[in-house]
Amino acid sequence: MTLSFLIMGASVFLVAAWVGALGAGLAARTGYSRIERVSPGAQAAFWLLLAAAPLVTGLAGLTATLLPSFGLAPDHCLTHSHHPHLCLNHPQALPMAATLIAAIGLARFAMVSATELRLAWRSSQVMAALDPIAKTIGDLRVLPGTLPSAFVIGLLQPRIYVSQETLTLAAPVFEPVIAHERCHVAHRHLLVRALARVLGSLHWPSVARELERRLASSQELQADEAAAGAVGDRLLVADSLLQFARARVGTPGGALAFIDGGVAARVLALSNDAPHQSSRPLVILATAGVIAVASTVAFPTTVHHALETALGWLH
Amino acid sequence: MLPALPLLGDLELAVLEHLWDCDETDVIHAHASVGAKRGISVNTVGSALERLYKKGLTKRAKVSHAYRYRPALDRDAFHARRLMQAAGGLESLSRDGVLAAFVDLVADTDREALDELERLVQRRRKERSP
């Protein structure tokens, strides 16, 4: 397999992926208000699916284009000479456009992956700094400190850290906190966010950032719902949130006068009844996705020709 | 700005804990407290004390032919500096989305907004109580 074939393959994948990214961006815009009717866990799945959409369409497009090379679809090359071809049977010179596209895609993916590796290393450094001063109680690592705080850190082996002050609070206040953090650990939320960021390298940067932000918000709401289920009272979780937020207002740097959309949105969500469990938006999205992918398999020649024509336009 | 505290191994931490407990020690007493139950030699404990001295976490003075060590930072000061060091990293990691906090470590909420949210929660509680 030659280098030019690999570069052509990468460029075909990326063109198909960017079509998927465009579709995902449009779906995100139209789905924002509707998606709030489903449970936070389903919302999080929706944002992750949209983040993965370019990968799926990229693989589907690449597969459709390669089928003739393996005799699984009619030979395409001899009948269309007006655009480049990705073909094992008819090797061609590499168009400049393909090299440029592959370079852009690979550079972006490498940059995002390197950032994730750096962040994972920094997380491990911070945990190495905290662990010696933390006391382990069950699955909790308790840090000295007079400010109530609780957080999860670690991608592959997430850990819950809480301040000593948190454990001195009344049970109705700290139990929702611990349940909330345990949900993050159980569902590997930080790893999922990292995966979404890497998948986001195939999206337009502003779309990738918005998808990650929406995913993180959904995960926080999901953890709040888990806490509400654990303690049996949604308003207790809201009370805990407010108590923690109020403790931070008094700290240095806590005097800025703007509303943290995160706390307000979460308290409002907890103050209402649990969201309607309708899964219709997800069913619609999943159906559209299946139809799109099935089309590439059912009509490989059309997809194949379209992708290679697009490469020809860019040349 | 205070320099960053160095990372410490398990043995170094155990020796430091022993120093905080007794305020002053030599290699023999440190080994009796920390090394014997780990099955490690006096020299190994001595090396740990030496490393702590080079990292600036202990002071030492020669008495007869042996060094006596004292902690350079007390336990609370060490923990406080460790936490402050970690806090800067925590806030940065929170901004980068690799840390999930119960309440966002870096965002702030004004008191009026919190008061309004508390009134909302109280209203909901009254509506739901029989």
What is the C-alpha separation between A100 and A82, in angstroms, rounded? 20
Query: Which pLDDT value is given to residue A23?
Result: 85
| Chain B CA closest to residue A212 | B97
Give which of B123, B114, B120 is closest to A244, Cα–Cα: B114
Q: Do A149 and B105 make contact, defined as CB atoms within 8 angstroms?
A: yes
- For the segment A90-97, the average pLDDT, to the nearest whole number, is 69
Mean pLDDT over the full length of chain A: 81
Q: Do B121 and A212 make contact, defined as CB atoms within 8 angstroms?
A: no
Q: Is the CB of residue B2 less than 8 Å away from at least one CB of chain A?
A: no
Q: Do A189 and B100 make contact, defined as CB atoms within 8 angstroms?
A: yes
Residue type, A227: A
ipTM of predicted complex? 0.73
> Is pLDDT above 50 for A111?
yes
Q: Do A260 and B125 make contact, defined as CB atoms within 8 angstroms?
A: no
pLDDT level of residue B42 (50, 70, 90 thresholds): very high
What is the C-alpha separation between A108 and A40, in angstroms, rounded? 30
- pTM to 2 decimals? 0.79
Distance from CA of B35 to the nearest CA of A (A): 18
Q: Do B110 and A248 make contact, defined as CB atoms within 8 angstroms?
A: no
**Residue A6 in tokens:** 């690999």
- For the segment A34-61, the average pLDDT, to the nearest whole number, is 87
Mean pLDDT over the full length of chain B: 86
Distance from CA of A31 to the nearest CA of B (A): 23
> Is pLDDT above 50 for A252?
no
Query: Which pLDDT value is given to residue A250?
Result: 53
- Given a contact cutoff of 8 angstroms between Cβ atoms, the answer to whether A12 and A97 are in contact is no
Partner-chain residue, chosen from B78, B99, B117, that has the shortest CB–CB distance to A264: B117
Distance from CA of B107 to the nearest CA of A (A): 6
| Chain B CA closest to residue A217 | B100
pLDDT level of residue B32 (50, 70, 90 thresholds): very high
Residue B99, strand partner residues: A153
Q: Is the CB of residue A140 less than 8 Å away from at least one CB of chain B?
A: no
Residue A286: which residues within 8 A CB-CB, separation 6 or more? Answer: A49
Both ends of chain B: CA-CA distance in Å?
57
Distance from CA of A100 to the nearest CA of B (A): 30
Interface test with A, best of B92, B94, B103, B127 (most A CBs within 10 A): B103
What pLDDT digit, counting tens, does each position of A205-222 carry? Answer: 999 999 999 999 999 999
Query: Which pLDDT value is given to residue B3?
Result: 67
Give whole-number Cα distances, A297 to A13, A16, A89, in Å. 15, 14, 20
Q: Largest Cα–Cα distance in chain B?
A: 80
Query: Which pLDDT value is given to residue A259?
Result: 36
Partner-chain residue, chosen from B82, B121, B128, that has the shortest CB–CB distance to A129: B82
What is the C-alpha separation between B27 and B5, in angstroms, rounded? 23
> Is pLDDT above 80 for A256?
no
Of the listed ranges A104-108, B7-11, B17-21, the one predicted with least confidence:
B7-11
**Residue A213 in tokens:** 């932000």
What is the C-alpha separation between A26 and A33, in angstroms, rounded? 13
Give whole-number Cα distances, B8 to A31, A74, A140, in Å. 50, 65, 21
Query: Which pLDDT value is given to residue B30?
Result: 93
Q: Do B110 and A155 make contact, defined as CB atoms within 8 angstroms?
A: no
Interface test with A, best of B13, B93, B102 (most A CBs within 10 A): B102
Q: Is the CB of residue A114 less than 8 Å away from at least one CB of chain B?
A: no
- Given a contact cutoff of 8 angstroms between Cβ atoms, the answer to whether A112 and A200 are in contact is yes
Contacts of A128 in chain B (CB under 8 A): 7
**Residue A38 in tokens:** 């489903």
Residue A282: which residues within 8 A CB-CB, separation 6 or more? Answer: A38, A42, A45, A46
> Is pLDDT above 90 for B36?
no
3-state secondary structure of A210: helix
Contacts of B11 in chain A (CB under 8 A): none
Question: What single-letter DSSP state applies at residue B35?
Answer: I
Question: What single-letter DSSP state applies at residue B34?
Answer: I
What pLDDT digit, counting tens, does each position of A173-187 carry? Answer: 889 999 999 999 999
Query: Which pLDDT value is given to residue A90?
Result: 64
- For the segment A110-114, the average pLDDT, to the nearest whole number, is 93
What is the C-alpha separation between B86 and A128, in angstroms, rounded? 9
Interface test with B, best of A235, A248, A256, A270 (most B CBs within 10 A): A248
> Is pLDDT above 70 for A77?
no
- Given a contact cutoff of 8 angstroms between Cβ atoms, the answer to whether B29 and B45 are in contact is no
What is the C-alpha separation between A266 and A225, in angstroms, rounded? 10
Q: Do B124 and A197 make contact, defined as CB atoms within 8 angstroms?
A: no
| Chain B CA closest to residue A191 | B98
Residue type, A269: A
Question: What single-letter DSSP state applies at residue B60?
Answer: E
Query: Which pLDDT value is given to residue B111?
Result: 81
Contacts of B16 in chain A (CB under 8 A): none
- For the segment B75-93, the average pLDDT, to the nearest whole number, is 78
Residue type, A87: C
Query: Which pLDDT value is given to residue A307?
Result: 72
- Given a contact cutoff of 8 angstroms between Cβ atoms, the answer to whether A199 and A55 are in contact is yes
Give whole-number Cα distances, A289 to A28, A203, A278, in Å. 14, 17, 19
What is the C-alpha separation between A148 and A218, in angstroms, rounded? 23
What is the C-alpha separation between A63 and A154, in angstroms, rounded? 36
Percent of chain A with pLDDT over 90: 33
Give which of B65, B71, B63, B56 is closest to B22, Cα–Cα: B71
Partner-chain residue, chosen from A129, A189, A259, that has the shortest CB–CB distance to B109: A259
What pLDDT digit, counting tens, does each position of A130-176 carry? Answer: 888 889 999 999 988 767 788 999 999 999 999 888 888 888 888 99
**Residue A199 in tokens:** 């998948």
